[in-house]
Amino acid sequence: MKITSARLIVCSPDRNFVTLKIETDEGIYGLGDATLNGRELAVAAYLEEHVIPCLIGRDPFAIEDIWQYLYRGAYWRRGPVTMTAIAAVDVALWDIKGKALNTPVYNLLGGKSRQGALVYTHANGADIPGAIESVRKHLEEGYLAIRVQCGVPGVSSSYGVPKGDKPYEPAERGLPSESLWSTEKYLNFVPQLFQAVREEFGEDLHLLHDVHHRLTPIEAARLGKALEPYHLFWIEDPTPAENQEAFRLIRQHTVAPIATGEVFNSFWDAHDLIRNQWIDYIRMTIVHGGGITALKKAADFAAVYQVKTGFHGATDLSPVTMAAALHLGLAIHNFGIQEHMPHSALTDQVFPHAYRFEAGYMYPGDAPGLGVDIDEKLAAEYPYQRAYLPVARKLDGTLTDW
Ligand code: GCO
Ligand code: MG
């Protein structure tokens, strides 16, 4: 079998997606997600100008060799644009292989280690009563694990809380919006939020919270200690992770479980965090971390140190990534939990898929390959529109981590 063509489908059904379609001389094609929220066309250009010409004529079954060719052969390595481009190729090749062998991708990764993947979804509210009602709604939908974000009194806009009545979508069309942040107000408020949620829903519900890179290590340690009575499933991105050593300080003060890694694009971004067991869950995702090939290796390394996976799964990762994450999550032994921020109905129409949600778990389905497709005609009705993630400033105007 030979690769005969590879092309990009860039569309924007409610938000931007970049999809790579690799076609072969046997009529089988594969899909890869190349979406990097707010930098979509950078990845598209990298693929079109520097990667696709090197794919034509290659054997699509040679997944490992093509991965190494695109990683080591590029000379300039790592970074979100490069690794997202490699991921798109890699996932498309796994899709082709599954289709050619008439088997779902999870069977190529060791087979089922479980029947379904435990998932968590996003609850949010402008205030505590609003957040409580949002948790209730998702409980009624059947979720067993729920992330809770809430507006912080005295701060105009908080992470994870939608503006108006539309579902939360961080990237906004037009130039970056600016939001305000107050560490002091946040640290004083969050324990009250989880005390209220536990009082309302009891002790069994898995609760998660995303700090979104906004605290210093010692502030994160303070938050972890303050939330211990509410035994969260995890506290996510407590502090920026460029300095992996910072997590040692957090670990010295609190037993609150820690998850990080959604902004990672290489195993090396997590190497010290994992081998020192400074985290409990690695969130690096297939679309930004180099694909199924790379994430399987990272997950296997994490397993040696009892670190579990908690793959990123926001709406800015396309249904192709959701499908790939469910196949990998079904197979690896140290699967922890999968983020499930459901896409819009329109997005699901553009990307018909086999995966499904039922009673707190998701199932990739048993279609050969990944079990996801793209309706190119419908996609073409929603052209790309530049969008940016917000930036954040402290109350004194200092730019800070959004
Ligand atoms: C999450 C993430 C998202 C990101 C978004 C960036 O936990 O799902 O933090 O909310 O902000 O994916 O594109
Ligand atoms: Mg996050």
What is the domain partition of the chain in residue ranges?
Answer: 3-106, 108-366
List 104's β-bridge partners, or say none: 369
Q: Identify the pLDDT of residue 158.
A: 84
H/E element, 116: none
H/E element, 86: helix 80-100
Asked whether the beta carbons of 36 and 43 are under 8 A apart, the reply is yes
Q: Is the CB of 169 under 6 A from ligand 1?
A: no
| Closest by CA position to 269, among listed 306, 241, 296 | 241
76 burial (CB, 10 Å; 0-12 / 13-18 / 19+) is exposed
List 281's β-bridge partners, or say none: 259, 308
Q: Identify the pLDDT of residue 169.
A: 86
CA of 313 to the centre of ligand 2 (A): 9
Identify the CATH class of 108-366. Answer: alpha beta
CB atoms within 10 A of CB 313: 27
Q: Identify the pLDDT of residue 351.
A: 98
Radius of gyration of the chain (CA): 20
**How far is Cα 201 from Cα 41, in angstroms, rounded to an integer?**
44
Q: What is the pTM of this model?
A: 0.98
Closest-CA residue, ligand 1 atom 2, reads 314
Q: Identify the pLDDT of residue 93.
A: 99
**How far is Cα 218 from Cα 224, in angstroms, rounded to an integer?**
10
Q: Identify the pLDDT of residue 170.
A: 86
Q: Is the CB of 170 under 6 A from ligand 1?
A: yes
Sign (positive/negative) of CA torsion 35, 41, 46, 47?
Answer: positive
Q: Would you tell me which CATH number, out of the four given (1.10.10.10, 2.60.40.1250, 3.30.390.10, 3.40.50.280), belongs to the domain 3-106? A: 3.30.390.10
Ligand 1 atom at shortest distance from the alpha carbon of 283: 7
Looking only at the bridges linking them, the beta strands covering 356-358 and 361-363 are: antiparallel
Closest-CA residue, ligand 1 atom 12, reads 314
Q: Is the CB of 316 under 6 A from ligand 1?
A: yes
| Interior/surface letters 253-276, b for 16+ CB within 10 angstroms, e for the rest | ebebbbbbbbbbbbbebbebbbee
CA of 169 to the centre of ligand 1 (A): 9
340 burial (CB, 10 Å; 0-12 / 13-18 / 19+) is buried
Asked whether the beta carbons of 170 and 316 are under 8 A apart, the reply is yes
Asked whether the beta carbons of 85 and 34 are under 8 A apart, the reply is yes
Q: Identify the pLDDT of residue 166.
A: 80
- Give every residue of the chain whose pLDDT is below 70, as ranges: none
